[in-house]
Structure 1
Amino acid sequence: MTAAIHHFARAALFAAALGSIPAGAALAADGLTIRDLVMSAPQPDARSDATVRAVRAFYDFWNNGDEAYLKQAISDRFTDHTLPAGRPQGPEGPAFASRAFRIAVPDLGVTVEKMIVAGDYVTVHMTFTGHFSGRFGDTAGKGQPIHFIATDLLKVVDGRITDNWHIEDNLTLFQQMGLANAAP
Structure 2
Amino acid sequence: MKRTTLFLRFGTTAIALALSGAALAANTDLVKPAVLVADKSLTPSQLAVMETVARRYDTFWHTGEERLAREALAADFVDETPPQGRQPGPEGPLLASRAFRAAVPDLGCEIEQMIIAGDRAVVHLHFRGHFTGTFGQLKGRGQAVDFIATDIYRIEHGKIAANWHIEDNLTLMRQLGAL
Question: Which shifted more, 30-39 or 165-174?
Answer: 30-39
User: What CA distance in whole angstroms lies between the structure 2 residues aligned with 1:48 and 1:31?
Assistant: 16
Unaligned 5+ runs, structure 1: 1-6, 20-27
Q: RMSD over aligned Cα, in angstroms? A: 2.2
User: What CA distance in whole angstroms lies between the structure 1 residues aligned with 2:28 and 2:176?
Assistant: 29
Q: Is the 8 A contact 1:111 1:127 kept in 2?
A: yes
- 1:46 Cα offset (Å): 2.0
Report the counterpart of residue 50 of structure 2 in structure 1.
51
Deviations 1:29-55 (A, max 9, x none): 537242111111256432221111111
Report the counterpart of residue 16 of structure 2 in structure 1.
9
User: What CA distance in whole angstroms lies between the structure 1 residues aligned with 2:30 and 2:120?
Assistant: 24
Higher strand share: 2
Q: In 2 relative to 1, CA 68–75 (structure 1 residues): closer, same or farther, beyond 3 Å? A: same
Report the counterpart of residue 67 of structure 1 in structure 2.
66
Higher helix share: 1
User: What CA distance in whole angstroms lies between the structure 2 residues aligned with 1:48 and 1:179?
Assistant: 41
Report the counterpart of residue 148 of structure 2 in structure 1.
149
Alignment length, in residue pairs?
165
Could you state the TM-score of these two structures normalised by the residue count of structure 1? 0.83
Write out the 4+ residue segments of structure 1 that deviate beyond 4 Å after TM superposition.
16-19
User: What CA distance in whole angstroms lies between the structure 1 residues aligned with 2:128 and 2:91?
Assistant: 23
- What is the DSSP-based 3-state SS (H/G/I as helix, E as strand, rest coil) of the residue aligned with 1:147? strand
Report the counterpart of residue 81 of structure 1 in structure 2.
80
User: What CA distance in whole angstroms lies between the structure 2 residues aligned with 1:171 and 1:156?
Assistant: 29
User: What CA distance in whole angstroms lies between the structure 2 residues aligned with 1:52 and 1:111?
Assistant: 15
Unaligned 5+ runs, structure 2: 1-13
Report the counterpart of residue 11 of structure 2 in structure 1.
none
- What is the DSSP-based 3-state SS (H/G/I as helix, E as strand, rest coil) of the residue aligned with 2:113? strand
Report the counterpart of residue 105 of structure 1 in structure 2.
104
